[in-house]
């Protein structure tokens, strides 16, 4: 039977867009509940400037708890080598480094060019202790809020150079705005796999802005992708991507694969009460099709 891995990104991509500070113990309790439902891999937080994203200023505490519990594989998002080194000092052993393929999105997000971010990624990779796992998130791989559709050739060029820096890194193509289309998603993954067949693992990060989150997940799956980011309750949105609504909801993706007979290892029923609690967080902007259908 075929299987996929769901990476729960709600505690990072979901929470970071919520204004009122979510008490650290509420975040930790939700991470425990998600782990209990079978989500064994999670982007638990981001090491990032607390001025830029005050919501994640408790990153060290959240990471320390998940490392102490030892129940999940916690992955930590970092926007540059400086914060990557901080995350490593705090005990992280699985980093997701993110930069945008689009010049203007990268500048608005991390105030530097994609070229400079790639060089910075290389500096971080050179410092990694043996055994540290790495995922590289190529944000705006399909569309940019400022520049429109991202030229595939530009994505493939950065991909090739990033692959050479760390061949064992997992590569995630991110539909940051949710404006990617299923044909585009399927084609870009197919071309990427052809260009860099030795990439250790491929992942897809989808947003559901136009309700195409699940379709895009399916298109990536059909191209051979087996790792999918999703956020409980469809929380999320990128504070630097105007118009980007929530991530594709974890419960929607689990349901989709369940109907296809593809194993996720996640208990679909157990997710619903957690999704309800996530959607009810003050300031949350949920976007789950499952929850809407149950409310109806």
Which residues in 5-34 contact Zn ion (CB under 5 A)?
A: 13
Q: Which residue is nearest to Zn ion (CB)?
A: 13
Site string for Zn ion, 164-203 (x = CB under 5 A): ----------------------------------------
Q: Mind giving me the DSSP string for 27-88?
A: HHHHHHHHHHTT--EEEEEE---TTT-GGGTTHHHHHHHHHHH-SSEEEEEESSHHHHHHHH
Name which of 13 and 215 has its Cβ closer to Zn ion. 13
Query: Contact, 90 vs 51, CB < 8 A?
Result: no
Asked if 208 is part of the footprint of Zn ion (rule: CB under 5 A), the reply reads: no
| DSSP at 12 | I
SS3 217: helix
Spatial CA neighbour of 135 closest among 174, 104, 108: 174
**How many Cβ atoms are within 10 Å of 93's Cβ, its own excluded?**
16
| Residue 283 φ/ψ, nearest 5 degrees | 90, 0
CA torsion sign for 101, 102, 104, 109 is: negative
Instruction: Give the binding-site size for Zn ion (rule: CB under 5 A).
Output: 1
Q: Could you tell me the smallest distance in angstroms from the CB atom of residue 126 to Zn ion? A: 27
Q: Could you tell me the smallest distance in angstroms from the CB atom of residue 253 to Zn ion? A: 14
Spatial CA neighbour of 125 closest among 85, 181, 70: 85
Cα-based distances in Å from 202 to 35, 150, 264, 296: 22, 19, 16, 36
Q: Could you tell me the smallest distance in angstroms from the CB atom of residue 176 to Zn ion? A: 6
Name which of 13 and 58 has its Cβ closer to Zn ion. 13
**How many Cβ atoms are within 10 Å of 63's Cβ, its own excluded?**
19
Site string for Zn ion, 67-86 (x = CB under 5 A): --------------------
Q: Could you tell me the smallest distance in angstroms from the CB atom of residue 178 to Zn ion? A: 9
Name which of 65 and 232 has its Cβ closer to Zn ion. 232
Name which of 230 and 266 has its Cβ closer to Zn ion. 230
Catalytic residue among 172, 174, 238, 290: 238
Name which of 13 and 252 has its Cβ closer to Zn ion. 13
Q: Would you call 174 a catalytic residue per the annotation? A: no
Q: Could you tell me the smallest distance in angstroms from the CB atom of residue 231 to Zn ion? A: 8
Please identify every residue annotated as catalytic: 238
Binding site for Zn ion (CB under 5 A): 13
């Amino acid at each position: 039977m075929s299987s996929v891995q769901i990476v729960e990104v709600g505690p990072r991509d979901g929470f970071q867009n919520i204004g009122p500070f979510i008490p650290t113990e509420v975040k930790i309790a939700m991470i425990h509940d998600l782990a209990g439902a079978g989500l064994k891999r999670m982007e638990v937080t981001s090491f990032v400037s607390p001025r830029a994203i005050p919501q994640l200023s408790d990153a060290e505490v959240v990471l320390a708890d998940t490392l102490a519990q030892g129940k999940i594989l916690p992955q930590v998002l970092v926007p540059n080598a400086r914060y990557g080194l901080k995350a490593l000092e705090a005990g992280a052993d699985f980093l997701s480094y993110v930069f945008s393929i689009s010049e203007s999105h990268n500048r608005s997000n991390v105030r530097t060019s994609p070229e400079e971010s790639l060089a910075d990624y290389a500096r971080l990779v050179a410092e990694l202790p043996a055994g540290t796992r790495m995922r590289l998130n190529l944000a705006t791989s399909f569309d940019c809020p400022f520049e429109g559709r991202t030229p595939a050739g530009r994505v493939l060029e950065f991909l090739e150079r990033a692959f050479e820096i760390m061949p064992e890194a997992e590569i995630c193509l991110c539909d940051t705005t949710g404006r990617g289309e299923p044909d585009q998603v399927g084609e870009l993954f197919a071309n990427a796999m052809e260009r860099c067949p030795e990439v250790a693992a491929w992942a897809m990060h989808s947003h559901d802005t136009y309700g195409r989150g699940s379709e895009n997940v399916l298109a990536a799956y059909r191209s051979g992708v087996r790792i999918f980011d999703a956020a409980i309750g469809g929380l999320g949105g990128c504070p630097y991507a105007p118009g980007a609504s929530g991530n594709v909801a974890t419960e929607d993706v689990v349901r989709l694969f369940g109907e296809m007979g593809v194993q996720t290892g996640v208990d679909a029923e157990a997710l619903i009460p957690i999704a309800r609690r996530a959607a009810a967080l003050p300031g949350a902007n949920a976007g789950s099709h499952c929850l809407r259908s149950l409310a109806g």
